[in-house]
Structure 1
Amino acid sequence: MSLKAPQLKHLVEVITRMTAFDRPADAVLSAYFRENTKLGAQDRHLIAETAFACLRRHAMMSALCAPHPTSRKLALATLVRVRGMNLRELEDADLSKAELAWIAELKGKAPELDLAGQTELPAWVIERLGTDNEDDIRALAKGLMESAPLDLRVNTLKMKRDAVLESLRAGGFEAEPTPFSPIGIRMKGKPALNRHPLFLEGAFEIQDEGSQLLGLIIGARRGEMVVDFCAGAGGKTLLLGAQMASTGRLYAFDVSEKRLANLKPRLARSGLSNVHPQLIAHENDARIKRLAGKVDRVLVDAPCSGLGTLRRNPDLKFRQSPASVDRLSAMQASILESAARLVKVGGRLVYATCSVLPQENRAVVNAFLDAHPEFELVPMNTLLAEHKIALDTGNFLEMAPHKHNTDGFFAAALTRKA
């Protein structure tokens, strides 16, 4: 692989825009590719992989480029130190003599970094992880720096997992069953599947294995009334609908019209007829109050810092702060409080986030249980065993990239007692 001057120019521009940290990095990339339609698949791959690698290793790359880490230097440092390019591969990149000399020195440079720099996690995040064990912090950080695999969830309404696997392999794709989710497939590499006939027919969706487990532990059944309280673009909604075999009533609530609009094409592909998307103004909307005490199962996939998804969204560590996490945990408590009112006696409430911070996870659930003796915790290992999922994370579901090769997820299951 050799780098061409135009590729470097595009890469520098993308890194410049991403490191403004004023909007999500994937949105920056999508917008850039829409502006530059002549970029080929290989160019896009090189730009995307390198820009995200730069964000994942931003502390190290900045230290290597000190005292003046320009976007061009950051791009070159990432290409050489993270992506392993050598000087020969950079011959066509139109570099100056000074740049070539700097790159030659770069190979052996080892800047001194503190724990935050070494782990590529802000000091405030390390402080709030709730552990002083440096080995644990380093292991988690290393997992969050890896690139995430591509996982698919099979739509069991339309096809069995084995049939989808067989079809993908027959088409030349390398794919394996996911280790924990009974309805998941893990792809080798990152093939583009959004035009694959099985995707267009709704036989599978793209969904991280950890997220699939969250949907499964709800345990939605045929004929029940189920609410996905913060449905977003509906990945888990579709899983719940399939669990219900498209019977009963499944409400998909969200405060964002745009997110619910993104659910529409996915819903059409899925073949589900029991889903009712509903835009709500806030967690105490009148539409919610009408369902008080009537719902069998409620999923609260709460808005959170997203710090468990740094493999995919490395920019989040720069766009979140202690203050934003404090605001989020107050909002999470309020949403959980409101969602709990819907659950009928004997019904199940699942609270989940894609965060690795105890403040957004155990702390929210424990405070809720202290205030609501009518709810009790259902041990997560019991629920996972019911689904024949070979995983034991104790009372809570706590998934982590370095242990399970999923995003960082948390979930707690609660039952309303008589």
Structure 2
Amino acid sequence: MSQVSPSRFIRVHQRVQQLQEVMLLLKGWQQPADAVLAQWMKNQSALGGRDRAELSDAVFALLRHWRLFEQLTHSAGEQQPRQMALLALAELHGIEAVSQELEAEDQAWLKQTLAVDTANLPFAQRFSLPDWLAEELQKQAEPEALAAALNVEAGVDIRVNPMRADRKKMLATLQAGERAAFNPEAMRYSPWGIRLEGRPTLRHWPEFEKGELEVQDEGSQILAALVAPRRNELIIDFCAGAGGKSLLLGALMRGTGKLYAMDVSAARLERAKPRFARCGLDNVNSMAIAENDDKRLQRFYGKAQRVLVDAPCSGLGTLRRNPDLKWRLRAEEISQYVELQQVILQRAAKCVAPGGRLVYATCSVLPEENEQQIQTFLQACPDFQVVPVNEVLKARIPDLLMQGDYLSLRPDLHGTDGFFAAVLVRTAVTS
């Protein structure tokens, strides 16, 4: 046994035990991992804030590499969960920090296991993917780079409220004080974005409380540049959710015109209202709509200058933030999302005015939900045409250049979540 302090030894071994308990609850993949972890922690009154954060990080490291760890420990029998937990801790803290607190046998096993060359393992095991998703990613350009990037934890993306703050001044403020420890930097593409490292408690920051800052992934911020809202327009955020995109759209409209935040979930829209108030927006109208035909939408037909459809999707572009999703999602669910997206897109299209703009987006990397979805839509709605995305980006984000007509963001190439968007214009209204 290594000569380590008793308190440190107990803490590490307790962490392994805790990870095993959480692993048992995760198996079956019926609930999101953060919900499972939060429920488990409710009964752990002795855990301090630092312990909770460390355990959460270890759980998500385990989720990212679950299948690889299973492969590396496949001969461990009853000890497999314990060994997988050790690998997760080594992934998080490094082999030296973990192995020095283990008995000689475990030290030797950990060193030997982490020295295994995984390059010859099948793609699915090497990058910890279910077989069906491994097959889908291998159809993409540079699949290994994409799969590897989806397994790297994302930073924290925030943005300024353009109605209340200037990014340059905000960066100077954040870089001058204690918050410089989070290494705030201007985003590569979004003109409003700031990227942070670590886990800042943003809700306690005065700038957040005053509505000067919001949390939003860079890809989602870029959507606002594609919508390109103008003052005094009628704009619809058709799948508004909790209102993150509506917040930026409303701010770019400078509080003028009318912005309708629509969603089938009244509860999500209700949660968005305090955010709108905090950010000083009074031009946003929340509207819960029915999942099927909603006759109230008829009054918007052919009237909105801009309509954004950030459609419900598989979310596979967000695996950096939600690694458990690849284990919870089933291949057959993709076709269900595709059908739903088709319905939503055609409903939203009816609201676009002649000459108006329709922006369709997903946080997916699958062509079925993206390029193929647009092709299907254009066949059904010939009065719409694709606008090459570079023509739209050059006004605000000239450094972001796409190879084709669509926005296609990848974590390995752009440092964002996987994101897709298409910009379309309505040329005429058909009968």
Q: TM-score higher than 0.5 here? A: yes
> What letter corresponds to residue 225 of structure 1 in structure 2?
L
C-alpha contact (below 8 Å) 1:300/1:351 kept by paired residues: yes
- Find the residue that maps to 2:169 and give its secondary structure: helix
Structure 1 runs (4+) deviating above 6 angstroms are: 95-98
> What letter corresponds to residue 167 of structure 1 in structure 2?
T
Q: Tell me, in whole angstroms, the C-alpha distance in 2 between the residues paired with 1:392 and 1:214.
A: 14
Q: Tell me, in whole angstroms, the C-alpha distance in 2 between the residues paired with 1:114 and 1:130.
A: 12
Q: Tell me, in whole angstroms, the C-alpha distance in 1 between the residues paired with 2:187 and 2:128.
A: 28
**Other-structure match for 2:298:** 289
Structure 1 residue corresponding to 2:324, chosen from 315, 326, 340: 315
Q: Tell me, in whole angstroms, the C-alpha distance in 1 between the residues paired with 2:134 and 2:208.
A: 39
Q: Tell me, in whole angstroms, the C-alpha distance in 2 between the residues paired with 1:350 and 1:88.
A: 49
**Other-structure match for 1:17:** 25
Structure 2 residue corresponding to 1:225, chosen from 229, 234, 237: 234
Q: What is the deviation of 1:81?
A: 4.7
Provide structure 1 residue ranges, at least 5 long, that are not aligned to the other structure: none
**Other-structure match for 2:408:** 398
Q: Tell me, in whole angstroms, the C-alpha distance in 1 between the residues paired with 2:380 and 2:211.
A: 42
Cα separation, partners in 2 of 1:70 and 1:351, compared to 1, 3 Å = same
C-alpha contact (below 8 Å) 1:4/1:90 kept by paired residues: no
Q: Tell me, in whole angstroms, the C-alpha distance in 2 between the residues paired with 1:99 and 1:127.
A: 35
**Other-structure match for 1:409:** 419
Q: Any residues of structure 2 matched to 1:105-124 within 5 Å, and which? A: 105-110=112-117, 113-124=121-132
Q: Tell me, in whole angstroms, the C-alpha distance in 2 between the residues paired with 1:156 and 1:52.
A: 34
Answering whether residue 148 of structure 2 is matched by residue 139 of structure 1, we say no
**Other-structure match for 2:209:** 200
- Find the residue that maps to 1:414 and give its secondary structure: strand
> What letter corresponds to residue 422 of structure 2 in structure 1?
A
Structure 2 residue corresponding to 1:86, chosen from 85, 96, 100: 96
**Other-structure match for 1:210:** 219
Q: Any residues of structure 2 matched to 1:11-410 within 5 Å, and which? A: 11-67=19-75, 68=77, 70-81=80-91, 83-86=93-96, 91=101, 99=106, 102-103=109-110, 105-110=112-117, 113-129=121-137, 131=139, 136-172=142-178, 173=180, 174-393=183-402, 394-410=404-420
Q: Tell me, in whole angstroms, the C-alpha distance in 2 between the residues paired with 1:345 and 1:375.
A: 9
- Find the residue that maps to 2:203 and give its secondary structure: coil
Q: TM-score, normalised by structure 2?
A: 0.90
Q: TM-score, normalised by structure 1?
A: 0.93
C-alpha contact (below 8 Å) 1:14/1:32 kept by paired residues: yes
> What letter corresponds to residue 211 of structure 1 in structure 2?
S
Task: Provide the aligned C-alpha RMSD in A.
Answer: 2.1
- Find the residue that maps to 1:373 and give its secondary structure: coil
Q: Tell me, in whole angstroms, the C-alpha distance in 2 between the residues paired with 1:163 and 1:108.
A: 47
Q: Tell me, in whole angstroms, the C-alpha distance in 1 between the residues paired with 2:126 and 2:114.
A: 18
Provide structure 2 residue ranges, at least 5 long, that are not aligned to the other structure: 1-7
Identical aligned residues as a percent: 43
Q: What is the deviation of 1:59?
A: 1.5
Cα separation, partners in 2 of 1:50 and 1:368, compared to 1, 3 Å = same
